[in-house]
Chains A and B, each alone.
Chain A
């Protein structure tokens, strides 16, 4: 069974500063990895996904994540954040079985200070 650990429940950062949201996963098999964003009072939206190939994945809104198999991590980064990035960010994992469910972490609340 897979599991996801998001190491920070809240990350405050100043506008235009860089940010990294940390995610570690646990699985005995190869996995797919995802980052989803949830804006206030909205459903979740996919930011980016890693399926295979290049370990550096670029997503929407200037976000990127790097898959590190040896450290079982999939940290999310953005070089310069904007007020509009204020949201809850969820790391998620699934195994390669086409019928499997996606498991979400507990989330990291990103708050941007002007």
Chain B
């Protein structure tokens, strides 16, 4: 049973570029949440997708956008990259919107912006 898989694991971009990160949820899960974890900080909620719609959004600018596909996989897109976007981006999956269950996290995509 595959867990949450994310790609790529590492990538380097320059300021102003755009990046797309991908996530496949754990088998049986239909909800995907994205988090940004800066070095030495806790994960910060970006947004959550369910039934191909953005359901909740954290305090992130519109440069951060996402998508969920019919097979429940998801993408995180960041436009006009800034140095401050350098972080570990974590994808978490769960079943349904209720948060009484646990989130299953991938190992993350580490983005470095130069």
Contact = CB atoms under 8 A, between A and B. Distances in A.
Interface string A42-80: 111110010100000000000000000000000000000
Interface residues of A, number: 24
Interface residues of B, number: 26
Contacts of A103: 45
Given A101-B56, A103-B45, A106-B41, A43 B106 contact: yes
A113 to B, nearest CB: 21
B32 interface: no
B106 A104 contact: no
Interface stretch (B13-21, B79-87, B94-102): B94-102
Contacts of A45: 105
Given A101-B33, A107-B41, A46 B56 contact: no
Contacts of B52: none
A98 to B, nearest CB: 4
Contacts of B108: 43
Interface of B: 4, 33, 35, 40-45, 48, 55-56, 58, 90, 92, 96-100, 102-103, 105-108
State the 3 A-B residue pairs at the shortest beta-carbon distance, nearest first: A43-B105, A104-B42, A46-B102
